[in-house]
Structures are given as structure tokens and as C-alpha cells.
Amino acid sequence: MSDRIADRHPRDSVPEALSTEAQPVVLECAGIEKAFSGIPVLKGVSLQLQPGTITALAGENGAGKSTLMKIASGQYRADAGEVRVRGELLTSGSTQSANRLGVAIVPQELASLLDLTVYENIFIGRELKGPFGLRRKMMIEEARKDLQQFGLQFDPTRKMGTLPVGIRQIIEIIKATNTGARAILLDEPSSAIAEREVQQLLEVMRALRDQGVALLFTTHKMEEMRAVADHVVILRDGGLVLDAPMAAVSDDDIVTAMIGRELEDLFPDRPEHTEEVVLDVRDLHVEGAPEPVSISVRRGEIIGLAGLVGAGRTELIEGIFGVRRTTSGTITVDGKTIKRNDPFASIGANIALVPEDRKGAGGVLSMDILDNGSLPRLKSFTTAGWLRQRARRDAVSQATESVRLRSRGLGQSMETLSGGNQQKVVFARWLTGTVDVLLLDEPTRGVDVGARSEIYRIITDLAAKGMAVIMASSDMPEILSLSHRALVLREGRIAGTLGPSELAAPDVQDRIFRLASGLSATPTTGIPTFTNKEDAR
Amino acid sequence: MTTEALTPTGRRRIDAKLIRHIAIRYAMVIVLLLVMCFFAYRSARFATPDNAITILVAAAPFALIAIGQTLVILTGGIDLSVGSVIALSSMTGALAAKTFPDQIWIAVIVSVVVGLIAGSINGFVVSVIKVPPFIATLGMLTLASGAAYVVGSGAPINGLPESFGAIANTRVLGLTIPVILMIIGIVGLGIVMRRTAFGLRIYAVGGNPLAAQIAGIKTGRVLFSVYAISGALAGLSGLMLASRVITGSPTLGQGYELDAIAAVVIGGASLLGGRGTIWGTALGLLLIQTLNNGLDILTVPAYWQNVIKGILIVAAVAVDVWAAKRRV
């Protein structure tokens, strides 16, 4: 369905008028500085967006990408420097005036109206009106055209809430262009959406470029930069370290610029595991799953849970921890049976859960690092209910140091931390005490390369210390390189188990995919695999 | 906390930036001071020690329910029932005092326990049956109000022993018992919220219930306890009000819940939960009571008082919203 757009892909189709001298730059940031509570986040960043180009904005978590976007779109006021949109100064620090000038931002957390229909979302705020009220038919038709233009074939009268996040994002982008945006800023557009939707998103971005729109997007994925970006801008610690045409730089240049050092091996060596079983899950029936599941994990062992979205990985992990209802089965840790459906009992048995949705389930954003860090083990910092501040502070600061958290101090609010650092807090809060079983759900989703390798190191270090680890992940290299054994889930069942020798086999990815999707075991051609998605282009 | 206002040498400069910073951080305190200055300027009777005591005495019954309300609102809930729980506990307390005139402690216990039971029912309905707090406590508002009339068959309970009146009218160190209870309540709960695991759990449950549950917090238990505390404090407040006028009345405390909620919100708490402090509520309460008192002194007609109060409450919160945006 996206062929039509792909045909338009060649760059020479950019309308001539848009690349003349009259408006050479759509959006210009000059010498932007911003500090939060005296800590500089941006130290004089300048950047220009030309019409009909896509610029990738990369950098580690906390490098200042989101802050720069928020300043460019008028959400934050810069301490110094200026933002110009087509030559006009963006002064007021408001999103509305930025919108009027033609800059729109599609934030990481979408603000769609889920109970309204797609066309209502597209037209909200500039509804088509006739003498008898809203001209719904006309809006539906217009919306249908818009959707088709971006290769989306569905009814615009569908409720927004019934669509996957990736499609909602595309609709937000359509809405932004319809309001006349000439510069669109996308904050981590691919971090929360499925692989297939990423491809769709990239197509939409290309189509917009060809219409002369300037796009700026943040991403952690090299393959996305390679796929669509003309230009790459890299921030490190609030400063601009690289601003170059994509074609002029190698992957290594980009990674080095991002982390400021050569990237050692992304994955550390797997630790040796013992034969002693720590976690034993027997016939655990998670509510809604078709059949019970059994897993046993040994001390120091990392078990990977692979599978497609909706295969029941999160459900299984949550079931073990007790936050999702289980109807039968036993869970034993070190030979002791623990009470099911009781997270408090699980924590007491030294089980820890790092959930998938950091913002929704991991941390309490309105609280600071210290409070977040002490939540799961409050008992160990209290005497008769009173907090022992010194002990709490020491334990949390030790734990956050062990995960190399970058923050302004324990009093920093969780919501002002970058994604990778939030994840580190969610890890660290368990490390103030003993953990025997560590349950991880997508531990590196939305986390940049530098923090990612640090998180891998944390995981293997913890396993080496004797923890039993279960890690659900959609990232195939993560499963293959970190886990001792991989379980492939399909529709709530364990479809297959792969041992060390099978994980090392050359055809392992194909095999996992077959198990995960329920295809027959005989290899056929033309089936997409998990990696090298870009090769198809 | 004022890092921006430090020069490179570490000395604090007094300049426009620092003043702006202070104005934003202490917006509500400044509003309160301005209101006080206005009243002091308009009337010589306002800024006197006696009048300060008058304000505190008037504030006391509200303070008890407002701090309970703060805990509830911090969890993201609301307790609409406190006004009628005051009525019910004043009636049951008065009835107990009449029945056992020589053992006045029975009346004290009955009032507080009736409040605690009403609050516990709220807590149970919210945390176990999972009825939205607004509806659960709206039900209790109607129920308790009805029950208050049932206790006295529709009439107030008069002719209570002297000793019942002594509860609220005894002075210790120049302050009446309700004022002392208010101070203990604010300081005590203020410290509890900052310094105990219980306080931290309330903030966690309000900030993100799912994350709190994964961190092993028994969210149901926390929810139950805040409603129970709110109810017990309303019971205590009802006892104090009834004792002050030596009468139990089914109309006592009517509409008080709204002033309590206003105080909490003026104090900077978010109705979505997770944000707010007891100190903020105390400040909000003081603002409302200062307005009541000052407008009385200026002999503004009662109906106009409400009009002015309504406008000022919204204006005060508007200032806070403005300041909160600039605190980022």
C-alpha cells in the first residue's frame, strides 16, 4: 500500500519554489542555552532546518534533545539564544505562537482524544462548519483523502482509541501538517510502536519531506537515521558535537560522537551460572492464558523470553510477581513456596520486577529520586514507621551510584530525568536490598546506546552476583547475546525452548521467528526476519 | 534551592531575578500577606492579638477536617462526607453526654468512634468495592446527614451538662482545646507526611497507584486508612463544635467539606493526587479564615461576603497556577 509513496521518494521531486533563496531556512535555533535550577542542559546549541529535509537529532539520554525540541516548539523559554521560524522571532515561549508560525511538535506521549473518531481528531479546533452546524460528511471525506495520501486505508470514522499507537502518531502528524506546519518536530516517534508501524512512519516522513516540510526527529536507532535522515545533529551533555550530512558520516562516527568514546562491545560476556535452582515456577496459570506454564531458573542464569507483541510475555512476568492474577500453580524461591497474587510477598521473597512501562508502572513521576528509590524496601529504612533519613539516603545513593545514574542529586524529581536515567532509578530501587530473582520486561526500550550497554552490564553483573534473571525482550540481539536459554512464547504458551548451542546456531533468528509466529519449521523464502529490516529497501 | 541566584563567588545577589524567584515560590504566602495588609489598613481592629486568637478559634474545626481531606486528596480521592459526619458525631456525642452526664469521656469516645466508623465505611467502599470516591462519599454525605436527624428525631439535643461544654471551652496556656488540637494536628501530620513510611506511601499511591503496587505497597490499605483518618478527624471536629455551643445539632458542619476542599486546593494540592502538603493546606485554611474574619470586621453584608470569598478563592488558585508554571 505504500508503493505509491515510495515512488515519490526520489529527492529531485522537491518543488523548486521551496528551495529558493527566499526561504532557505524554516526553523533556526541560534545559541540556545537552558538551565534547570542552575544546572545547564543546553550550552549554546545552534541548528537550522531546511525545507524538504529530514534531520535526525541523536544523543544519549539526558543530552538535551527533548529540551531543545521543547524550546524550538515554544513549550520552554530559552535562557539565552533565539528561535526563528522563517525569519520571524519566536518570542513568547508559547506553543500557540509557534503553531501560528508553522512549527508543530508531536510529543512522545500523544495527546490524542481517544474517545473521538479519527476525523474528529484531525479536524478538532478547525472544524468545517456550514449553516446547519458541522459538515461531518465533508470532514470525513477530507480525512479519508489525507489518510490515503499517507498510505493508510481505513475508515476515518473509527474511534482513535481502537488504533495502535503508531497509527495514532501518524494521524497526529497529519493533523499538524493540515494546520499548515512547515516544520514538524517528532520526539522519539518510534520508541513506543511496533516494527511494522515504524516502516509506515518512515514512509510518512519521506512523503512529508517531498512536500517540502522540514522534519526533525529524535531517535536511538541507527537504522532509522540511515533510512530517512538527510542530516544528523548530535548533542552530548548539552553541547552540539556533530552536525553533518548523513552521507558524510559513518555509523562509528555517530556512535563515537554520541557517547564521546569508542563503543566497546555492546554486550558484556554472559556470566557463568550454577546448577542450583532459585526460581521454580510450576504450572502457573495466568488468568486469560490458555494453559499453565512452568519455568525454572538457576542462580546466575539469564532466561530470555522472546515472542511477538501480545504473546503473553508481560503477562507471565507480572503473573510471577503477583500483579496479574494467576488461578493455579506454585512459585518457589530457594525452595520456599510464596503466596501467589501478592506482590508484597514476592518482594519479601526477594523477587524484583522492572516493568516495561517506566512511566506508567515503574516510577512515581511526581516524587523525587530518593523517594522512588526507597519505595520497595521502605521497611528496611524505618523504625516503627519513622524513616531513618540517613540510612535511606545512604542506601539509595549507593544503589544509584552502582547503576551510574546521572542526576542533579537525590532530590531531583523523577519526571525531569531522561528515559534511560528513569530506567536506572527503577533498577536501582531494588538494589538497596537482596534480590534473588530479577524479572525484567523490555529493559532497554527507548534507551540510548550508551545507557543500553550500561544496562546490559548491570544485568550481567547482577546475574554474576547470583541472581536468577528472566528478561522479556523484543530486541533479538538482546535475547541472543545475553540469555543462557531462551523461551519463545506464542499466545500464552511456551512454543519452544532454545539452549546455549541452539542460541549460537546461525539459523537461530529464523527459528525463533517461526516459533513465535507459529509457522511450520521448514524454511521457506520470503518470510521477514527480525533483523535487517532495512535490507528490503 | 536558589541556585540561580548565586553569583560565581557564591554570594547571594539581591536582584530582579531573585525577587522573581521568591515571588514565584512563595506566591500563596504573598497573597495571604497582601490580604492581611489590606484588612489591617482598613480597620484598626484587625491586627490585634485578640483578633488573631479569634481567627484561630474559628479555623480550628475546619483545620481538623482540612488536614484529613489533604490526605484523601493526596491519594487522588475526595471526601465529600465530612460535613455530615460532623453533624452525626455532634448528635451522637450530645446524646451520649445526655445519657451519661457524669462520664463525659464516653461522649468524647462516641463522637470520635462514630466519625471513624463513617470514614472506615468510606474507605471500605472505595478500596475494596472500588466505588469512585466522589460517589462513595457523596452517599455517605446523604446517609450521615439523614442519620444525624434520626438520632434526635429531627431536633437538636439541648440541656447538656456543663462538663460537655468544658471540652472545647477550657483554656490551656491561653488557648482553647480545639486550637491546641489544630496545632497538634497540623504539626503532627505535617511531620508524619514528611518523615514516615506511611506518608511516603500516601504520596506514592496518589502519584502512581500501579507503580506503588509493583513496589509492594498495599494500596488498598493506604486508601482505607486515609478515609478512616478523615472520618475520625471529622468526628473530633463535630465534638468540638457541639461542645462549643453545648448543643448537638443535625445542621452543624453543613457545607464545611467545601471550605476544607478549597483550603487544600488553595494550598497547592493537585486533585489528581500525589502533590500537596499539610503546610500548604494550613496556609489555605488561614487565607479563608482571614477573609471571613476581615470581611466581618469591615461589616460587609453576609451575602456579599460569599461573593467576594468566591472570587478570591479562584483568584488565589489562579495566582498559584500562574506561579507553578514558572517554577519549571
Average pLDDT, chain B: 89
How many structural domains are present in chain A? Answer: 3
CATH architecture label of B15-325: Orthogonal Bundle (1.10)
What are B4-45's pLDDT values in tens digits?
A: 444 444 455 667 777 777 777 787 888 889 999 999 999 888
Q: Is A375 an 8 Å CB contact of chain B?
A: yes
- A384 and A456 housed in the same domain: no
Which of A210, A240, A259 represents a domain boundary (last residue)?
A259
CA distances from A498 to A305, A484, A489, B23, B271 (A): 10, 9, 12, 63, 50
- Across chain B, the runs of DSSP E, i.e. the strands, are 171-172, 175-176
Q: Rg of chain A over CA atoms, in angstroms?
A: 25
Contacts of B214 in chain A (CB under 8 A): 321, 323, 343, 353, 355, 361-362
Confidence of residue A358 (pLDDT cuts 50, 70, 90): low
pLDDT of residue B12: 57
Q: Closest to A387 (Cβ–Cβ): which among B197, B213, B218?
A: B197
Evaluated on CA atoms A350, A341, A489, A530, the torsion sign reads negative
- A429 and A441 housed in the same domain: no
Residue boundaries of the structural domains of chain B: 15-325
> Cβ B214–A343 below 8 Å, yes or no?
yes
Q: Closest to A364 (Cβ–Cβ): which among B4, B196, B208?
A: B208
- A100 and A43 housed in the same domain: yes
Distance, C-alpha B99 to centroid of its chain = 31
Q: Which three cell numbers stand for residue B65?
A: 477536617
**Count of CB pairs separated by less than 8 Å, A with B:** 88
- A344 and A471 housed in the same domain: yes
Give dist(CA A154, CA A14) in Å, integer.
28
- A295 and A189 housed in the same domain: no
pLDDT of residue A260: 67
- A93 and A30 housed in the same domain: yes
b vs e for A304-332, b when ≥16 Cβ sit within 10 Å of the residue's Cβ?
bbbbbeebbbbbbbbbbbbbbebeebebb
What are A128-185's pLDDT values in tens digits?
A: 888 888 888 888 998 998 888 888 888 889 888 888 878 888 888 888 888 888 899 9
CATH number at residue A191: 3.40.50.300
Q: Is A458 exposed, middle or buried (0-12, 13-18, 19+ CB in 10 A)?
A: buried
pTM above 0.90, yes or no: no
- A331 and A449 housed in the same domain: yes
- A403 and A442 housed in the same domain: no
What does DSSP assign to residue B196? B
- A324 and A452 housed in the same domain: yes
Q: How far is A380 from chain B (nearest CA, A)?
A: 10
Evaluated on CA atoms A170, A176, A181, A184, the torsion sign reads negative
Which of A386, A407, A433 represents a domain boundary (last residue)?
A433
User: Among residues 6-65 of chain B, which lie with CB inside 8 Å of chain A?
Assistant: 6
Q: Closest to A366 (Cβ–Cβ): which among B6, B214, B274?
A: B274
In a domain, A120, yes or no: no
What are A294-338's pLDDT values in tens digits?
A: 999 999 999 999 887 678 888 999 999 998 899 999 999 998 999
Give dist(CA A321, CA B214) in Å, integer.
8
Which of A433, A451, A473 represents a domain boundary (last residue)?
A433
pLDDT at residue A406 greater than cutoff 80: yes
- A367 and A324 housed in the same domain: no
Q: Which of B214, B222, B270, B275 to mutate to test binding with chain A, by most A CBs within 10 Å of its CB? A: B214
Q: Choose between B81 and B171: higher pLDDT.
A: B81
Q: Which three cell numbers stand for residue A245?
A: 550530512
Q: How far is A413 from chain B (nearest CA, A)?
A: 11
- A401 and A501 housed in the same domain: no
Contact B67, B217 (CB under 8 A): no
Q: Which three cell numbers stand for residue A447?
A: 534507551
In a domain, A423, yes or no: yes
Q: What are phi and psi of A488, to 5 degrees?
A: -105, 125
In a domain, A312, yes or no: yes
Neighbours of B254 (CB within 10 A): 15
**Interval B163-192 mean pLDDT:** 91
**Grid cell 532459585 — which residue?**
A278
- A88 and A214 housed in the same domain: yes
Q: Which domain holds residue A417?
A: 360-433
ipTM for the assembly: 0.78
Give dist(CA B134, CA B29) in Å, integer.
30
